[in-house]
Structure 1
Amino acid sequence: MLRSIWHLGALAALLVLTHPATAVAQPAPTEAAPAPAELTVADVGFAARYWEPATGPRKAPVLVLPGSNGGYPSARVGRSLAAAGHPVVGLAYFSAAPAIPGLPTRLREIPLEYVDRAIGWLAAKSGRPVVLMGESRGAELALLLGSRRPKLAGVIAFAPTTAVWRAPPAEANEKPAAAWTEKGKGVAWLSDDDAPGLTSNQRFDRALARGKGAARIPVERIKAPLLLIAGGDDRIWSSTPAARSIQAKVPNATVLHYPDAGHLLMGPGAGVSRFEAPGFVVEFGGTDATNLAAREDAWAKTLAFLEKVSAR
């Protein structure tokens, strides 16, 4: 239920990743990649984990953006990309538990310039333009930056959206605020419909049906190659219609659609279809089997997409 996700998003995602009753057992990693270096706000102006390929030619660098769980992105994603030859920055832009020094504890008024620092650092270190990769709210951020930053090598959006959404409120009566800012001003946003009894998808779909206005992400401005991955059983927001809508506006966009998969499809290996705790349920969609099959296929095609981007 979306109200719970908006109000307790960081906690819910943290529990999904750690609760033994709901987290799917993960296979032991086989990627030959070194442990990441920790990059801190105090040292480089952003908080991240950096994976550098151990051997072989360097391919297109990848900046990975997590969703509303906060904190650092999946280590499996970083290890797999680095093993394939990509320098990787797994960026944290807020973190509630555990707190990361120098970062806000909520997804609220995050400066796009903060992400720019990470893009610039990775581009300078690798000597190549950067690919942005994000999931859910991270996909929203990747598409938003892709439409505003022309010097990118590619954009990859898992569970994309066509609009910018508000900051998740901490409580029901909190004044709405922007999730992202640029030059000190909030980026225009939509508020999901908060009428009682609606599913997560209905909350977003009703808001979109009223019109996006200035909150629409101008995806037609994205000049870099674009890969969109969506599950037909996404129970958070309707990512498949969003992916098709974006593809219609961006000639160089590719859509990977998995009819029986859910919301969480970024990375190799098993994912999560449902989280349940006393008084709290989040349905991400799909089943353990359909999500695993979709994730494995999507990840292989993501690596192939990155291979083509690297050869440009």
Structure 2
Amino acid sequence: MGLTKTSVRHDGFDATLFPAADRKGKVVITLSGSEGGLRHAEKMARHLQGQGMPALALGYFGTGETQEFLSRVPLEYVDAAIGWLRGRGYQRIAVEGLSKGAEYAAAAATTFSEISCAVLKTPAWFYGEGIMKGAPSGASCWTYRGQELPYTPYRERSFPSKRDILRRAEYDILSLNAKRYVRQASAVPIERIAGRVLFFSTEADTVWPSSESAKKLEDRLVREGFAYPYPYEHVCFDFMSHLMLEDANRLVRVLFRSEREHPRECAEERASMSSKMHDWLERVW
């Protein structure tokens, strides 16, 4: 398949489109995590394209055409992408977000009613503080119409260095993200999504407690007698790491002990995740 590229300098966002034949009934906007750039978002989109689903890999910081840091990122990037896709004949729009991208995807899906499906991988149940030059930024990750979304700050004001992570032989920053005092105003209003929601989490997460977080989001969908009117599901794995890429490379074994100790189980869980998501996008959405 050929690629169509667009730049924030011309259309208000920075992305790569992965089309699927002449199919335009559905399209997925993919959003990767705190590493920034487009590399992982493109890997996610390319995987969907291989399953026959068109996808738009959207960069929201660190792309060269967007801001440098993960702080005060405007939701308008997604809004611009929606308008661009609609202008090219795409009809139903979903978002797939991984890690911080899941947080951004949730913020977008609760804001823009055009999004009728959200796939959230290792999500957080609240909006967090931004990151700038390897430290908390003192501002929200996200903005809309120039205003910061309410956020919960980090307890610690410095992060482990790359040297510390290499010495541990494990990308483990769970202490930064677990047992934080969460400001209630920063909780993700997940019930505002006008469509289907699929959560993926893992018990082996060493970045933040994604299984607990996804359960909190799931619980919020149905509480106090309110029934969420759309299908939703939470799938929690045992061995896969925080980096929930279907086509993960050997780097995951360098970064995560569970991936090194349970390579077969992690591969099986990735295949299961891919199958589940394909079924969800094709049949449930």
TM range (shorter): 0.7 to 0.9
Distance 1:245 1:271, change over 3 A: farther
Helix, strand or coil at the partner of 1:246 = helix
Q: Normalized against structure 1, the TM-score is what?
A: 0.77
Q: Matches of 2:35 and 2:120 in 1, distance apart?
A: 16
Distance 1:88 1:253, change over 3 A: same
Provide the C-alpha distance between the structure 1 equivalents of 2:80 and 2:105, rounded to a whole number of angstroms.
14
Specify which of 141, 151, 163 is matched with residue 126 of structure 2.
163
Question: Are 1:46 and 2:8 matched, yes or no?
Answer: no
Normalising by structure 2, we get a TM-score of 0.83
Match of 1:242 among 213, 226, 241: 213
Gaps of 5+ in 1: 1-33, 276-281
Structure 1: how far apart are the matches of 2:28 and 2:269?
Answer: 21
Is the aligned partner of 1:256 residue 2:235? Answer: yes
Structure 1 residues 284 and 150, CA, compared in 2 at 3 Å: closer, same or farther? Answer: farther
- The alignment-based identity, stated in percent, is 23
For 1:241 and 1:212, how far apart are their aligned partners in 2? 17
Q: How far did residue 223 of structure 1 move? A: 2.7
Letter in 2 for 1:264: L
> d(CA) in 1 for partners of 2:194 and 2:237?
25
Classify 1:121/1:196 alpha carbon distance in 2 versus 1 (closer, same or farther; 3 Å).
closer
Contact 2:25 2:90 in 1 (8 A): no
Q: Once the 2 structures are TM-superposed, how far is the Cα of residue 267 of structure 1 from its aligned partner? A: 2.6
Cα distance, 1:284 vs. partner?
Answer: 7.5
Answer yes or no: is 1:67 the counterpart of 2:42: no
The aligned residue for residue 295 of structure 1 is 270
- Distance change in 2, residues 1:293/1:59 (3 Å): farther
What CA deviation, in whole Å up to 9, does each residue of 1:80-127 have, x standing for no partner?
3223332211001111xxx52x31111111111122101221233233
Higher RCO (C-alpha under 8 Å, 6+ residues apart):
1
Q: Distance in 2 between matches of 1:183 and 1:76?
A: 30
Aligned residue identity for 1:232: E
Paired residue secondary structure (1:126): coil
How many residue pairs were aligned?
263
Q: How big is each residue's C-alpha offset from its partner over 1:6-53, in whole Å with a ceiling of 9 and x where there is no partner?
A: xxxxxxxxxxxxxxxxxxxxxxxxxxxx14222111222211111111
Q: Map Cα deviations across residues 206-237 of structure 1 (whole Å, 9 max, x no partner).
A: 21xx2332111111222310000111100000
Partner of residue 156, structure 2: 194
8 A Cα contact 1:201 1:236, kept in partner: yes
Q: 2: CA distance between counterparts of 1:84 and 1:127? A: 17
> Does the 8 A contact of 1:273 with 1:291 survive in 2?
no
What SS does structure 1 have at the residue aligned with 2:46? Answer: helix
Corresponding residue number in structure 1 for 2:197: 226
Give SS of 2:218's match: helix
* Offset at residue 270 of structure 1 (A): 4.7
Q: 1:186: Cα distance to partner?
A: 1.3
**Residues 48-127 of structure 1 mapped to structure 2, 5 A cutoff:** 48-54=15-21, 57-72=23-38, 73-95=40-62, 99-100=63-64, 102-127=65-90
* C-alpha contact (below 8 Å) 2:116/2:193 kept by paired residues: no
In structure 2, the residue corresponding to 1:134 is in which secondary structure?
strand
Distance 1:170 1:233, change over 3 A: same
- What secondary structure does 1:61 align onto? strand
SS at match of 2:127: coil
Amino acid paired to 2:237: Y
Amino acid at match of 1:246: L
Equivalent-residue separation in structure 2 for 1:38 and 1:143 (angstroms): 24
State whether residues 134 and 158 of structure 2, in contact with CA within 8 Å, keep that contact through their aligned partners in structure 1: no
Contact 1:265 1:294 in 2 (8 A): no
